Amino acid sequence: MEYQAPPFFKTGPTPLARLLILSALSLALLISDARFNYLAPLRQVAAVILYPLQRIALAPASIARRVGDFFVTHSSLRTQNDRLERENFENAGMLQELKGLRAENERLRALLGARKRFGVDATAAEVVYAARDPFSRRIVIDKGMRDEVKAGQPVVDENGLLGQVTRVYPWLAEVTLVTDKSHFVPVQNLRNGLRAVLSGTGSDGVLELRFVPVNADHANGDELVTSGIDGVYPPGLPVARISQVERSATRLFARITCTPLAGVSNHTQVLLLSAQRDLPPRPAEQAKPRVKGKARKR
Amino acid sequence: MATSRPAPQEILLPVKPGYIALTLAAALLLNLLPWSGYGLWIKPDFVALVVLYWCIEQPRKMGFIGAWLVGLFMDVADGTLFGQHALAYTILAYAGIVLHRRVRMFAITPQALHVIPLFLMNDLIIVSVRMLGGADFPGWHYFIGSFVAGALWPPLAALLKIPLRPKPDPFHV
C-alpha cells in the first residue's frame, strides 16, 4: 500500500475535480431547464437581484433621451404638432366610421347568432432593452408580475403585432418578437381570408409563410392579420405585408417572405393587450338555501 | 536564449474579495448596457474578461464558484437556458487557473495572445450549447468579440491595478 504524505496546505479538491463538479451541475441545470420547468423560482430570485443593475445600465440611455427631448427646436415641435393634428383629424373620421361599423357588426352577429368578439384591454409599457443575444429576437419591457402581466399576452405597437410575452419577472417581462425563429403566428390574408402560419426567421425584418401550397393565392403587397384561431392573439391585428412570393416547380411549397408591419427593432413604447373572453353566462342559480337565524347586517 | 524574461512584477496591495466582487458587478453592468447593431457584433463579453483576469492574477481568491455564480446571473440577464454561461465560465476559470503560472511569465501584451484562444473557447461553448438547443449558427462575426476582448486585456489589467497600488507614504522623505 502506497503511503501518501499529507499535503502541506489545505487547498480542497483539485481544480480538475472542481471543474468536473461544477460542469456536471451546469449540465444538470441546462437539461432541467430545457426539458422540465423546475427552475422558474431560481430564475425569479436571480432576476430580483439583477434588477437594480439593469436599471443602472439603462440610466445613461434614458438620460440621453431626456436631454435630447429637452433640446428640441421650435420648428421640429411645430412640424410634429402639425402632423399629429392632421393624423388626429384623419383618425377621428375613421373612429366615427368604426363606431358605426362596430354597431352594425354586433347587430349582424346577433342576427347570425355568432359569438361576440372578445373585448381587448391595453396597457402601455416601455421597452427597457432589447436582449443582447444574437441568437434570439427578444425585448424586455418594464411591466411584470407586479402589474399582472401574464405569459402569453400579445404585445403590439401602433402599426401591428410585435410579439408575445414569454417570461414574466417581478418587475420586468420578456417579449419574444415575431421575428424570433421559434415564434409562430396564425394569420390570414386580408384580401381573401386565406389562412396560414407566419414564422420568424431569426433575422430582423424578415418573416416567412411556411408550407403554403404553390397555387395558393398570395400576392406581393397583401396584408396579413392575425386570424385568432390559436386563442392567443385577438383576431384582426395587422402583422406583416408580403414582400416576395417565389413559386418554383421544383419545390412543393411556395416561398413567401414578408416584412413585419410593427417596428420590431425600433420602439420605446408598446401596448400589452389582454384578451378578455366573454365566458358563457353562469347557469341560473337554483332556489337559494334558506338562511336560518341569521340577520343580514347592513 | 534569454528572449523572454519574466515580466517585472509590481508589488501591489493584497486584493480584497469585495474588490473582486465589485469589478465583476461592473463587468455585468457593462454587459447589461443596451447594445445593439454593430455594437452587439463587436461587444466583448466583459464578464468573461474580468473572470479570466482574476483567475490568472489571483487564482486563490477568484475561484470556480464565483465564475459559476456570475454565469448564472448572465443566463438570467440574457433570458437564455440556465447554465450555459455558467458552464462556459467554469471552463474558462479552469483554463485560467491551470495556465496562470505560464501566462504571468509574459508581459501584458503577449498575455493578450494567450487569452484570445480562451475567449474563443468560451464563445464556442456557448455557441455549441445554443446550437444543441436548436438555435441557428449566428455567423462568424459572433467571434469578433473574443478578439476585441483580447485587445482590451492590457487596458483592463492597467485599470484593475490602479486601486491596488500602494499609496505613497506621506512621511517618506
The predicted model scores a pTM of: 0.74
> Which among B82, B90, B150 has a CA at the least distance from the CA of B120?
B150
Q: How far apart are CA B71 and CA B86, in angstroms?
A: 4
- In the block, which residue shows the cell 391585428? A237
For an interface test with A, which of B24, B29, B30, B32 has the most A Cβ atoms less than 10 Å from its Cβ? B32
pLDDT of residue A242: 92
Instruction: State whether A134 and B31 contact (CB < 8 Å).
Output: no
Q: How far apart are CA A224 and CA A244, in angstroms?
A: 13
Buried b (16+ CB within 10 A) or exposed e, A110-148: eeeeeeebeeeeeeebebbbbbbbbbbbbbbbbbbeeee
pLDDT of residue A7: 66
What Rg, from alpha-carbon coordinates, does chain B have? Answer: 17
> DSSP secondary structure string, A3-39?
--PPPSS---S-HHHHHHHHHHHHHHHHHHHHH----
Task: Kindly report, residue by residue over A278-296, the tens digit of the pLDDT.
Answer: 555 556 666 655 555 544 4
pLDDT of residue B27: 92
Q: Which of residues 19-58 of A touch B (CB under 8 A)?
A: 19, 22-23, 25-30, 32-34, 39, 42-43, 46-47, 49-50, 53-54, 56-58
Task: Kindly report, residue by residue over B116-172, the tens digit of the pLDDT.
Answer: 999 999 999 988 988 887 777 777 888 898 999 999 999 998 898 888 888 777 777
Contacts of A105 (CB under 8 A, 6+ apart): A117
Q: Which of residues 256-295 of A touch B (CB under 8 A)?
A: 265
pLDDT grade, residue A81 (50/70/90)?
A: very high
Closest Cα in chain A, distance from residue B79 (Å): 8
Q: How far apart are CA B89 and CA B75, in angstroms?
A: 11
pLDDT of residue B1: 42
Closest Cα in chain B, distance from residue A75 (Å): 30
Q: How far apart are CA A111 and CA A103, in angstroms?
A: 12
Across residues A59-87, what is the average pLDDT?
Answer: 85
CB atoms within 10 A of CB B77: 24
Q: Under DSSP, is residue B22 helix (H, G, I), strand (E, B) or coil?
A: helix
How much of chain A exceeds pLDDT 90, in percent?
A: 10
Residue A111 contacts B, CB cutoff 8 Å: no
Instruction: State whether A134 and B76 contact (CB < 8 Å).
Output: no
